[in-house]
């Protein structure tokens, strides 16, 4: 394939920088989901770790390299999961971490960022406003700006999930990946295309936050004015050109799903698999629900990428709405 | 220490017989639980596998040995988790499995046993009635009777969890283990006492199903007439003498907890750790809730041993009752 920004050897090296508590996450079939979905589904569970999302794989790489030689402080913009992960990785290495987050981010995520000892700055607006503010903080304070998906370390960390998928003996046909900024999708996608090219890489984004999917389809960066989705973790509006370039090389498809499908998927995951997930982590199951024919009889693996939800909101989504 | 029925080398050998999908389960700190509990808590998560409980570690050993030379059919009595695990292990090896379960067992467990291709026989009464019936089935059909906790393979499989706890670098002070028939408690307890003797082994049982705890305290088998607990997985009445003998050698304490504490623990685990657990799996957290002083400032690990719950019952326990 054409060259992405990734180097598989560097991804293997990144793995060595990550605290083992985040590695070798469970990968297993959830047969109880089959009757409702019409296909065999395995989950790669990225929630059973201290920050309840896959993001620490990337921040562990970032923080390890900072310790090896760089500023002892860093700032990131985050809808919550990256900030929590960077706070965790920074704390364990004695780094000062600042997180800029939208004030509308889930309280559960913001509380954890504070509890992990990071300085938390809230901004009006959405993740794009937070990104702008983080740039200013980094410049004013002379500290490292960690930019999710743009910084290759964040992508290489996420890509280690791909190594684990390839190493497993499970013979699946497709991997369903949540698509936000693109670190997870391009990282896992690169590894699959490099090492298991027969596996279809399908990215899934909410209809209410479709910027990267539109960009992938049009093969050029396309922004949106706003977002409207409960999947706060993937609600960007300004795709990064370099990430899109990679996504064009490694994604076989990018699909959009409705909010009702995301909620139904969250409900199925808790009822039939006992898994509490945040909306972004239900995107893969939502994609199956919206196109059962495409997946009928196949074996797919979906990356359950986070479980940081506000209990009240989760309860409202999963138990209060009509089936 | 005095000799238990266990041999640590045999436990290491048992590990080789277990499908890797059940091994090396996540072990990680849940810091968000600390404020509510007053101590550091790590979870050993035995729910992120195809049968959503630790029981397959034991049935994998049983089924492997059957394939190596024995009848091609087996029967067990089960409140649900052992049956599901034996059905899984048997199916993957072409064995005919029969499960005898109380008809009051959670429907979610019974449905999974059937879905895994086992023959399911329901009996009136509780797990002890199911055990009697399983003995008859085994004798009449000339097939292997798998007796949880009595059969050393079931204990050796569970004991592999202990190996993983010992191998981790986390320096915890105590391990909290659900106590039912005793396979998990004696298996993990043996490994801890053999390899990490400074770690306190604390068994936890519901006040409503206290037979083994009473037996441990009185140092002789003590039965009860009935049980009254939502923790169906540990609701036995007739402790096995050989298992009690081991428990007397490896357990530092055995404590009883109230139903309200179990429910509160389930609620804390889902709200602060995003973990859906069945009542038996919340016993460790319940023990902390009932004796905060004992654990204050310490680092404990609790084995989250299963997540097979009926969604309706779970919802009722976790969301409907007053805090």
pLDDT in tens, chain A (323 residues): 679 999 999 999 999 999 999 999 999 999 999 999 999 999 999 999 999 999 999 999 999 999 998 789 999 999 999 999 999 999 999 999 999 999 999 999 999 999 999 999 999 999 999 999 999 999 999 999 999 999 999 999 999 999 999 998 678 999 999 999 999 999 999 999 999 999 999 999 999 999 999 999 999 999 999 999 999 999 999 999 999 999 999 999 999 999 999 999 999 999 999 999 999 999 999 999 999 999 999 999 999 999 999 999 999 999 865 44
pLDDT band at B2 (very low <50, low <70, confident <90, very high): confident
**Binary contact (B25, A29; C-beta < 8 A):** no
pLDDT at B108 over 80: yes
- Mean pLDDT of all residues in B220-248: 95
**Binary contact (B30, A47; C-beta < 8 A):** no
* Distance from C-alpha of B3 to C-alpha of A295, rounded to nearest angstrom: 54
B contacts of A118 (beta carbons < 8 Å): none
**Binary contact (B115, A31; C-beta < 8 A):** yes
Chain B residues with at least one Cβ partner in A under 8 Å: 21, 24-32, 45, 47-50, 52, 112, 115-116, 270-271, 273-276, 307-309, 311, 315, 319
* Distance from C-alpha of B133 to C-alpha of B145, rounded to nearest angstrom: 11
Determine which of A25, A48, A311 to mutate to test the interface with B (most B C-beta atoms within 10 Å).
A48
- Mean pLDDT of all residues in B56-77: 95
* Distance from C-alpha of A118 to C-alpha of A132, rounded to nearest angstrom: 19
* Distance from C-alpha of A224 to C-alpha of A209, rounded to nearest angstrom: 8
Average pLDDT, chain B: 95
**Binary contact (B50, A27; C-beta < 8 A):** no
* Distance from C-alpha of A71 to C-alpha of A81, rounded to nearest angstrom: 22
Q: What is the pLDDT of residue A320?
A: 65
pLDDT at B54 over 50: yes
A contacts of B311 (beta carbons < 8 Å): 270-271
Q: Which residue of A has its CA nearest to B276?
A: A274
List every span in chain B annotated with CATH 3.40.50.1100.
Answer: 8-53+152-320, 56-146
Q: Is A139 exposed, middle or buried (0-12, 13-18, 19+ CB in 10 A)?
A: exposed
Q: How far is B100 from chain A (nearest CA, A)?
A: 21
* Residue A263, both tokens: 């909620």
* Distance from C-alpha of B33 to C-alpha of A54, rounded to nearest angstrom: 20
* Distance from C-alpha of A64 to C-alpha of B99, rounded to nearest angstrom: 51
Q: Tokens 């999961």 sit at which residue?
A: A81
3-state DSSP call for residue A75?
A: strand
- Mean pLDDT of all residues in B28-55: 97
pLDDT band at B168 (very low <50, low <70, confident <90, very high): confident
Residues shown for chain B: 323
**Binary contact (A274, B112; C-beta < 8 A):** no
CATH number of the domain located at residue range(s) A8-53+152-320 in this protein = 3.40.50.1100
* Distance from C-alpha of A30 to C-alpha of B150, rounded to nearest angstrom: 30
**Binary contact (B50, A31; C-beta < 8 A):** yes
* Distance from C-alpha of A154 to C-alpha of A97, rounded to nearest angstrom: 16
* Distance from C-alpha of A21 to C-alpha of B189, rounded to nearest angstrom: 24
Q: What is the pLDDT of residue A323?
A: 43
Q: What is the pLDDT of residue A1?
A: 64
ipTM: 0.95
Q: What is the pLDDT of residue B157?
A: 98
Residues in CB range of B273: below 8 A, 6 or more apart: A52, B30, B32, B33, B43
Q: What is the pLDDT of residue B171?
A: 82
* Residue B56, both tokens: 């397959």
Q: What is the pLDDT of residue B319?
A: 80
A contacts of B50 (beta carbons < 8 Å): 28-31
* Distance from C-alpha of A16 to C-alpha of A69, rounded to nearest angstrom: 17
Q: Which residue intervals of B78-197 are DSSP H helices?
A: 81-91, 107-115, 127-141, 152-167, 183-195
Which phi and psi (to 5°) does residue B259 adopt? -60, -40
* Distance from C-alpha of B10 to C-alpha of A38, rounded to nearest angstrom: 41
* Distance from C-alpha of A110 to C-alpha of A143, rounded to nearest angstrom: 22
* Distance from C-alpha of B110 to C-alpha of B218, rounded to nearest angstrom: 35
* Distance from C-alpha of A114 to C-alpha of A133, rounded to nearest angstrom: 18
Lowest mean pLDDT of A294-303, B162-171, B313-322, name the range. B313-322
Q: ∠ at Cα A317 (A311, A318), nearest 5°?
A: 85
- How many helices (H) and strands (E) chain B has is answered by 14, 10
**Binary contact (A26, B32; C-beta < 8 A):** no
Question: How far is Cα of residue B297 from the mean position of the Cα atoms in its chain?
Answer: 27
* Residue A147, both tokens: 């930019």
Determine which of A108, A169, A267, A274 to mutate to test the interface with B (most B C-beta atoms within 10 Å).
A274
* Distance from C-alpha of A136 to C-alpha of A126, rounded to nearest angstrom: 16
Q: Is A159 exposed, middle or buried (0-12, 13-18, 19+ CB in 10 A)?
A: buried
Residue with the bigger pLDDT between B312 and A16: it is: A16
Q: Which residue of B has its CA nearest to A267?
A: B311
* Residue A181, both tokens: 């900024």
CATH topology of domain B56-146: Rossmann fold (3.40.50)
* Residue A85, both tokens: 């992960």
pLDDT band at B320 (very low <50, low <70, confident <90, very high): low
């Amino acid at each position: 394939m054409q060259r992405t920004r990734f180097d598989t050897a560097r991804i293997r090296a990144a793995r060595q920088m990550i605290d083992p508590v985040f590695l070798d996450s469970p990968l297993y079939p959830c047969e109880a989901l089959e009757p409702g979905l019409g296909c065999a589904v395995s989950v790669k569970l990225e929630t059973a770790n201290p920050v309840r999302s896959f993001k620490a794989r990337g921040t562990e790489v970032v923080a390890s390299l900072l310790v090896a030689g760089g500023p002892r402080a860093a700032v990131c913009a985050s809808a919550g999961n990256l900030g929590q992960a960077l706070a965790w990785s920074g704390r364990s290495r004695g780094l000062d971490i600042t997180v800029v987050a939208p004030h509308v981010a889930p309280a559960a995520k913001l509380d954890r960022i504070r509890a992990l000892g990071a300085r938390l700055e809230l901004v009006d607006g959405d993740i794009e406003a937070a990104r702008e503010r983080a740039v200013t903080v980094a410049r004013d304070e002379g500290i490292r700006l960690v930019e999710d998906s743009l910084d290759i370390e964040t992508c290489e960390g996420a890509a280690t999930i791909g190594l684990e998928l390839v190493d497993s003996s499970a013979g699946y046909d497709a991997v369903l990946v949540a698509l936000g900024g693109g670190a997870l999708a391009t990282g896992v996608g690169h590894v699959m295309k490099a090492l298991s090219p027969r596996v279809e890489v399908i990215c899934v984004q909410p209809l209410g936050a479709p910027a990267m999917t539109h960009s992938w389809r049009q093969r050029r960066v396309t922004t949106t004015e706003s977002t409207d989705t409960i999947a706060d973790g993937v609600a960007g509006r300004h795709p990064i050109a370099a990430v899109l370039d990679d996504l064009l090389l490694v994604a076989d498809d990018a699909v959009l799903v409705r909010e009702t499908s995301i909620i139904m998927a969250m409900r199925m995951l808790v009822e039939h698999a006992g898994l509490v997930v945040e909306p972004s982590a239900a995107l893969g199951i939502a994609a199956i629900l919206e196109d059962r024919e495409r997946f009928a009889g196949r074996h797919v693996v979906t990356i359950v990428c986070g479980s940081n939800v506000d209990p009240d909101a989760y309860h409202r989504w999963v138990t209060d709405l009509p089936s």
